[in-house]
Each structure stands twice: as C-alpha cells, then as structure tokens.
Amino acid sequence: MIDLTGYVALVTGSSRGIGAACAVRLAEAGADIILNYCTSRSAADQVAEQIQALGRRVAVVKADVSERDDIESLIDFIEERFGRLDIIVSNAASGGFRSMMSITPQNFVGTMKTNVLALIQLVQVASKLLEKSPGRAKVIGLSSHGAAMAVPMYGSVGGSKAALESFARHLALELGDRGINVNIVRAGLVATDSTSKLPYADMMFEGRKWRSMTGDRFVEKEDVANAVLFLASPLSDMVQGETLTVDCGAQVHV
C-alpha cells in the first residue's frame, strides 16, 4: 500500500543501526536513497549494496551533520545528482553516556549540534527542495525515552531529545503551509552499537521484559523503521508536529 517509487530520501547516520534499517525500509517501499555517514564508510557501502540489490538509486555521502558547511555540501550534492528531495530522516546522534555532574560545555554543545541543530539546519538548507516535492515533503527525527524520562547516565542525550521534540513541533508550525510535515519517532530501547555501550545495559534490557505490553516481542530497529516509513508516506499527510512512540508500550507501563 505504501509506494514511494520516484521519491528521494536522505537518511542521516545510516551506516548502521536504526538509520540503516530506515534506509533499507524506505528503499523497499520504492524510494531512492542518500545514505550519510561520518566515520563508517565501509559499513555505509554495505548498506548501499543492499539498496542497490533492491533496484533503487543510492548514493553514499560523508558529512558531519553537526557542521553547517557539510550539510550545505550534502544538500547541494542531492540537488545536483537527484534533482529533488522528498524525505529527510534526521537520525544521526551522538553524545556519549555521562553523568550530569560531568557534562562540560564542550560535551553539551557537541551533543546539541549533532542531535538538535542538525535537524534545524537540514530543514533550513533543504527547504526549497522539500517545497518542490509533488506531495507533502516529510521530515522525521529520532527521539528516545530520555526526552521525558530519567535514564542513568543519559541526561546529555535525553535533554537533547526533549529539545528535538519541541523544535520539531515549532518547525511543523512554520512549515506546514509550505507543504512540509515534521514529526518525531520516539523509540524504546533497541539493540544497536550505541546501546551495547549503555551503562547498566543489562539492567535496561532486563527492564524491558516486565515493562513490555507486547508479550515477549521487543522493539527491533525494523519496528522503528516501520514507523518512519509511515511518517514518510502520504498515509501520514495529516500527522503534523507529532511524536509517535514505538516502545512496546513501555512508557505507559507503571
């Protein structure tokens, strides 16, 4: 039912993890894909091979999304190579795991630049292209439980996700009349490279078992990608400024 044939989608931080799963899912639905990485070139190339095998056009672009110049080069490249951009999945994130007492101004600024400012700058730089999308263009950010809950050693990233959700609502307000939807997927705990380094990872994954309201089935990166696919498709044209949670119901369980 979802057919994105002819659409062009950029997924930031798509060399691995949830970003890679989103890129593959969008390609399976027919979209051509721009994969973005910062350091993991060979991993990004492997994702590109998967997408090529689906018969889609794919490009792999190195860009640090915390840097305005890199974002401008990335969007220029997309305009030149693909001539259009319909979907942005702002997935890349960093920040590390640290106590609130150890956050330095440098950590704070670095985390906010990658996790929050990137979405704003991507939209600022790409808005003219997005506006030309024949349907409604879709911008989707990735958030986490840390936006609204206290997670051990996660204050820096969690705070950035709360800001991200707010900025998405404000962008939706400004861009709705220009044919652009901005929404967020708030994912529960998913096994990826980043969560393997999470302090108390065993406890957190164990905790999923009793808080899940979907039996013994837990959120995988593909489940997050399914929600992104919905928000990237015309089926979500009337969903605007929203945060969609994909977490087995964990956040509403006492």
Ligand X SMILES: NC(=O)c1ccc[n+]([C@@H]2O[C@H](COP(=O)([O-])OP(=O)(O)OC[C@H]3O[C@@H](n4cnc5c(N)ncnc54)[C@H](OP(=O)(O)O)[C@@H]3O)[C@@H](O)[C@H]2O)c1
**Positions marked active-site:** 154, 161
Length of the chain: 254
Place of tokens 């980043």: 194
Nearest distance, CB of residue 77 and ligand X, angstroms: 14
Q: Measure the N-to-C terminal CA separation of the chain; round to a whole number of Å.
A: 36
Of positions 175, 190, 248, 250, contacts ligand X by CB under 6 A:
190
What x-and-dash track marks residues 92-131 binding ligand X by CB under 6 A? Answer: xxx-------------------x-----------------
Nearest distance, CB of residue 127 and ligand X, angstroms: 20
9 or 189: whose CB is closer to ligand X?
189
User: Does 156 help bind ligand X (rule: CB under 6 A)?
Assistant: no
CB 209 within 8 A of CB 166: no
Place of tokens 């956050």: 103
Of positions 34, 142, 168, 171, contacts ligand X by CB under 6 A:
142
> How many helices and strands (H and E) does the chain possess?
9, 7
17 or 155: whose CB is closer to ligand X?
17
d(CA 162, CA 241): 14
Which range binds ligand X by CB under 6 A, 13-21, 80-88, 125-133, 226-234? 13-21
Q: How many residues make contact with ligand X (CB under 6 A)?
A: 29
Q: Virtual CA dihedral for 78, 84, 88, 92, nearest 10 degrees?
A: 0
Structure tokens at 178: 């220009």
